[in-house]
Amino acid sequence: MHKFLIVFVIGTLSFSISKAQKESTPNGWHLMDKDSTGYYGVSANKAYSFIKSKNLKSKTVIVAVIDSGIDTLHEDLKPILWTNPKEIPGNGIDDDHNGYIDDVHGWNFLGGKDGRNVKEDSYEAARVYHDLKSKYEGKEKGDIAPKDLAEFTMWQKAKANITGEGKEDAGIDIVILKRLLANMQKSDSTLKVALAKEVFTGTELNSFIPTEPAQKTSKNALLGLMKANNQLEATNKEFMEGFAEYVAGEDKKEESKNTPPPTYRADIVKDDETNINDRFYGNNDIMASTPMHGTHCSGIIAAVRNNGKGMDGIADNVRIMMVRAVPDGDEHDKDIANAIRYAVDNGAQVISMSFGKDFSPQKQWVDDAFRYAESKNVLLVHAAGNDAKDVDTEDNFPSPVYINGKGRAGNVVTVGASGDPKNGGLTASFSNYGKKEVDVFSPGVKIYATLPGGNTYGNLQGTSMACPLVAGIAALTLEYFPNLSAKQLKYVLENSTQKPDFKVSKPGTEDMVNLSDISKSGGIVNAYAALKLASTLKGERKIQKEVLPKPKLVKTKKG
């Protein structure tokens, strides 16, 4: 799963801290207009002025958010949740006969019939490595039948990923890392007492004058780490939680070298994971216990506008359909494929997908779902990922490039994350990029939006935030120009970007490049420009005939 986190470096170590690295851009900067405010946002107010000047009327657009869950009780989201018109809530009956009981606001493909839900899961690399180890361990390429070569190559890559084989840096010593975390936790506890507060920023710590040797040692240790990672504006709570999360992830990776990962999903969902036609599994709990990521993404798209609460979404007439398929860990291809099909079958016109991984063992299933969405004129918007890597040359799934080598999906927009010169630069330091595979950039640094808690808001960042902003602009465009096809929406988004007239940082490096060197469009999405361009097009939206053979849906005893 692409985390909504930023990567920092401590010598040879790296870990993740959530939230913004600086506080110099205001909440909602991502919606602002550069010419009138100086911030490199998407010109939302200008877009609505254009709509008003043209006397345009909106049509409701359903946007599916395939994610971790959503706070269905949030004050800014409750009014804009999609409601299945054919389903009677809470009666335990599949009223609309779509195979999913009481799917009132969406569906949870990470749930069990008994009401339990998958929270965490393993990494796909570990699953691939251990699932295929007995088949390929000790074999060379010459031993492999042609039909198995692609799978063997994938297994070799997974093996290198898990074991560190062939890498100059075989990984971080987990013992040293745990010791460092323990020392930082001790320092944090000492400083809480010394400052007489549970939460403090790095800036506050920097101004603190110790009165005891232990305080001085603790200050130097924690402050040194925060300074090294440019995190003086972060709180100790944010910093320590991010460090602990990183260490836990590295510990899990270390354990996976010799031990197959736990079967988190299988133990709860209990479907036949080898059968894509076994589709009717899960439950209707779309909040579950992990709604943070999906709640934030949904607010970016469609939080109620102009209600005086929290923040405004980009689109003003959208219904959010939550399809829960992304755990704390790597998502499963089957769940993503079925989530896309569910969204399409239930009327979604745009699908926001803020997740991703380096391996896709059942990519054909996802490819088929992409084709299905394209046949129904549904636009897929996907986060490019947060590894500061070139996805033209390194894998990032799901990918619009079909695994059989026969072309690519024409309805997919892949999104990198931009920022502002005042909060770290026009390109986010963590964003993946690619001249061929990243279509556009979109604000993804210090994005203020809804958080779980009913009336809670906060800043998160990542391509996970940039993606729903693009999905929201696509939905806004479709609201007022409903006859545009998915391919036309893609055309509009890519050809209405605002192109900077200066070089930008290539993420993960000190190189300065043109934005066109690291993305297809060479620009940052803009709602106003998108609507202007859309107004010049003649709509081509029509539902094509099914281009795929209809799967034979098999209801097993398990689901």
pLDDT tens-digit readout, 454-508? 999 999 999 999 999 999 999 999 999 999 999 999 999 999 999 999 999 999 9
Non-local (6+) Cβ contacts of 78 within 8 A are 72
Q: Which residues on neighbouring strands pair with residue 283, listed in sequence order?
A: 108
Distance CA 220, CA 187 (A): 9
Query: In this structure, are 498 and 357 located in the same domain?
Result: yes
286-296 mean pLDDT: 96
Neighbours of 183 (CB within 10 A): 15
Which residue is it, tokens 């839900």?
117
- Continuous H helices in 399-485: 463-480
- Pairing verdict, β 456-460 and 447-451: antiparallel
- List, for residues 173-211, the tens digit of each pLDDT value: 788 888 999 999 999 999 999 999 999 988 899 999 999
Statement: residue 404 has pLDDT above 80: no
**pLDDT band, residue 550 (cuts 50/70/90):** very low
Nearest to 548 by CA among 368, 359, 288: 368
Helix (H) or strand (E) segment spanning residue 246: helix 236-255
pLDDT at 166: 52
In a domain, 235, yes or no: yes
- List, for residues 18-73, the tens digit of each pLDDT value: 433 444 799 999 999 999 999 999 999 999 999 999 999 999 999 999 999 999 99
**CB-CB contact of 431 with 515 (8 Å):** no
Helix (H) or strand (E) segment spanning residue 46: helix 44-53
pLDDT at 173: 78
Secondary structure letter of residue 374 according to DSSP: H
| Domain termination residue (choose one: 218, 252, 286) | 252
pLDDT at 473: 99
Sheet holding 106-108, edge to edge: 106-108, 318-324, 61-67, 350-353, 379-383, 412-418, 440-443
In a domain, 556, yes or no: no
Phi, psi of 435 (to 5 degrees): -60, -30
505-514 LR contacts (CB < 8 Å, sep 24+) = 505/425, 505/426, 505/427, 505/429, 506/427, 506/433, 507/388, 507/427, 507/428, 507/429, 507/430, 507/431, 507/432, 507/433, 508/388, 508/389, 508/429, 508/430, 509/388
Query: In this structure, are 217 and 233 located in the same domain?
Result: yes
Q: Which residues on neighbouring strands pair with residue 17, listed in sequence order?
A: 6
In a domain, 36, yes or no: no
Statement: residue 9 has pLDDT above 80: no
Distance CA 521, CA 499 (A): 8
Query: In this structure, are 325 and 432 located in the same domain?
Result: yes
Query: In this structure, are 341 and 458 located in the same domain?
Result: yes
Q: Maximum Cα–Cα distance for the chain, whole Å?
A: 76
In a domain, 406, yes or no: yes
Distance CA 143, CA 359 (A): 23
pLDDT at 558: 34
| Domain termination residue (choose one: 252, 277, 300) | 252
Domain range for 306 is 6-26+56-121+266-526
- CA dist list (Å): 11 to 171, 219, 234, 244, 249: 13, 19, 20, 17, 18
**pLDDT band, residue 5 (cuts 50/70/90):** very low
Estimate to the nearest angstrom the gap between the alpha carbon of 425 and the chain centroid.
21
Query: In this structure, are 518 and 433 located in the same domain?
Result: yes
Distance CA 85, CA 96 (A): 9
Statement: residue 155 has pLDDT above 90: yes
Burial class (CB in 10 A: 0-12, 13-18, 19+), 193: exposed
pTM of the model: 0.86
Neighbours of 215 (CB within 10 A): 18
Which residue is it, tokens 């890392």?
177
Query: In this structure, are 397 and 492 located in the same domain?
Result: yes
Statement: residue 97 has pLDDT above 90: yes
**How many residues does the structure list for the chain?**
559
Nearest to 44 by CA among 27, 32, 60, 29: 32
Query: In this structure, are 438 and 507 located in the same domain?
Result: yes
In a domain, 544, yes or no: no
Distance CA 160, CA 167 (A): 8
Query: In this structure, are 279 and 237 located in the same domain?
Result: no
We report the CATH number of the domain holding residue 345 as 3.40.50.200
Query: In this structure, are 456 and 510 located in the same domain?
Result: yes
pLDDT at 163: 86
Distance CA 182, CA 474 (A): 46
- List, for residues 297-332, the tens digit of each pLDDT value: 999 999 999 999 999 999 999 999 999 999 999 999
Distance CA 113, CA 284 (A): 9
Phi, psi of 335 (to 5 degrees): -65, -40
**pLDDT band, residue 146 (cuts 50/70/90):** very high
- List, for residues 209-257, the tens digit of each pLDDT value: 999 999 999 999 999 988 876 677 778 998 898 888 888 877 877 887 8
In a domain, 548, yes or no: no
In a domain, 190, yes or no: yes
In a domain, 232, yes or no: yes
The mean pLDDT of the chain is: 91
| Domain termination residue (choose one: 136, 170, 204) | 170
Query: In this structure, are 206 and 298 located in the same domain?
Result: no
Query: In this structure, are 220 and 324 located in the same domain?
Result: no
Query: In this structure, are 336 and 445 located in the same domain?
Result: yes
The count of structural domains within the chain is 3
Distance CA 233, CA 348 (A): 39
Distance CA 543, CA 375 (A): 7
Least confident of 47-51, 381-385, 554-558: 554-558
Distance CA 491, CA 530 (A): 9
